[in-house]
Amino acid sequence: MDKVKIGVIGCGNMAQQAHIPSIKANPDAELTAICDFRKKVTADLCRRWDIPFATDSMAELLKQDLDAVYILTPLPAHLANIKAALAAGKAVFTEKPVAMSAAGVRELAAIPGKGVSVGYMKQHETNIRKMREIQSQSDWGKLLFIRNHSFVGKQWNGALNQLVKPVTSDEKKALDLSNLDPAPAWLKGERDEKFYSYDNPYYSLLDTGCHSVNLLHHLAGVVPKVLGVNAGNGVTVVHFDFAGTPGELEFCVNFRMDRWDEVTELYFERASVRILTPPPLNRQASAVVEIYSESNGLHQNLVLEDTRRWAFQLETDSFIKKVKEGCCSSDLDEAAGDLEVIEQIYQTITGA
């Protein structure tokens, strides 16, 4: 194929601030269609980004000549949207998390199709990938401990929304419960607007905590077991077992503070790694990685400095390349493991 023809379903903040700009910046991609029930939003975006087709119907978008579809709708709609896109024969990219339960992800994994890529953009950080390459060529010994500290302040978006205002409208749509993810069967509560919002502690943990869980999963190479959870003052501290290696997650969403504060640390027998990840929507920043290692009497510090390469752009470029090459690989097995962990954390906190 010459260019990968892409359609976007859901035109909220993440679509406007991360994914549409990244698609438009890729020379091998052509954004040909968008879908959102807010007609004012899609009309404005078509003018701003020179997009030829807009609709408020997902079915109409999926009838278009598209190679791939981005699912950027709110989390409760992901499950139904991904099913429809796979049934239409499209390659799929979805924002994280894939669904509201591990069972929902496994249901998707059983559907034949062109694969589902999940928006875990931190895996695409240049320096994280370089660190893993260095690790594979070094003798650091056994992983002894792994930790992620993620305190999310209100400038998680790099204050981008203060510079480039997202297109919004007053258009409303009634909640169609029949089309929403039922969530884990064990999770109590009426499936209403409050349930599908940040007023639901499970929803909040799932939507924001899955990035941290996935990064630990990705770096350790194993799905952890939850040994215990301490929660209080809006902070969740999780104790993990990564197949015999202890680990921790310290997680908090605190919008009373601006600062984004995320660091991931790995300790080996002969090395240690410290990863400093920037606010996700800071387009001019990338992860900085500090590596200390000892080998043959040599003690070495190596710093992989900020490359100014945005993880969202790298993620988009990787997906476009995958589709253009006809690759049908899927991230769903990995995503199911992440959601199993999130469910364990919440069940441990609540005793559900």
Residues 150 and 269 in one domain: yes
Q: Does the structure show a pLDDT above 80 at 61? A: yes
Residues 83 and 146 in one domain: no
Residues 212 and 344 in one domain: yes
Q: Does the structure show a pLDDT above 70 at 255? A: yes
Range(s) of the domain holding residue 342:
122-308+338-350
Q: Which of 2, 27, 156, 22 is nearest to 93 (CA)?
A: 22
CA distance 215 to 230: 20
Local confidence band at 162 (pLDDT 50, 70, 90 cut-offs): low
What CATH number does residue 72 fall under?
3.40.50.720
How do residues 178-212 score in pLDDT, each as one tens digit?
889 999 999 999 999 999 999 999 998 999 899 99
pLDDT, residue 154, reads: 84
Q: Does the structure show a pLDDT above 90 at 15? A: yes
Q: Which of 282, 46, 40, 256 is nearest to 161 (CA)?
A: 282
How do residues 166-177 score in pLDDT, each as one tens digit?
899 999 888 888
Rounded to two decimals, the pTM is: 0.96
How confident is the prediction for the chain on average, in pLDDT? 95
Residues 159 and 66 in one domain: no
Residues 276 and 294 in one domain: yes
Residues 299 and 167 in one domain: yes
CA distance 92 to 10: 13
Residues 110 and 147 in one domain: no
Mean pLDDT of 87-96: 98
pLDDT, residue 263, reads: 98
Q: Does the structure show a pLDDT above 80 at 159? A: no
Mean pLDDT of 295-300: 93
CA distance 167 to 67: 26
Residues 180 and 87 in one domain: no
Residues 299 and 320 in one domain: no
What CATH number does residue 171 fall under?
3.30.360.10
Structural domains of the chain, count: 2
Q: Which of 296, 313, 303 is nearest to 275 (CA)?
A: 303
Residues 212 and 126 in one domain: yes
Residues 87 and 135 in one domain: no
What secondary structure does DSSP assign to 278-310, as a single string? Answer: PPTT-TT---EEEEEEEETTEEEEEEE------
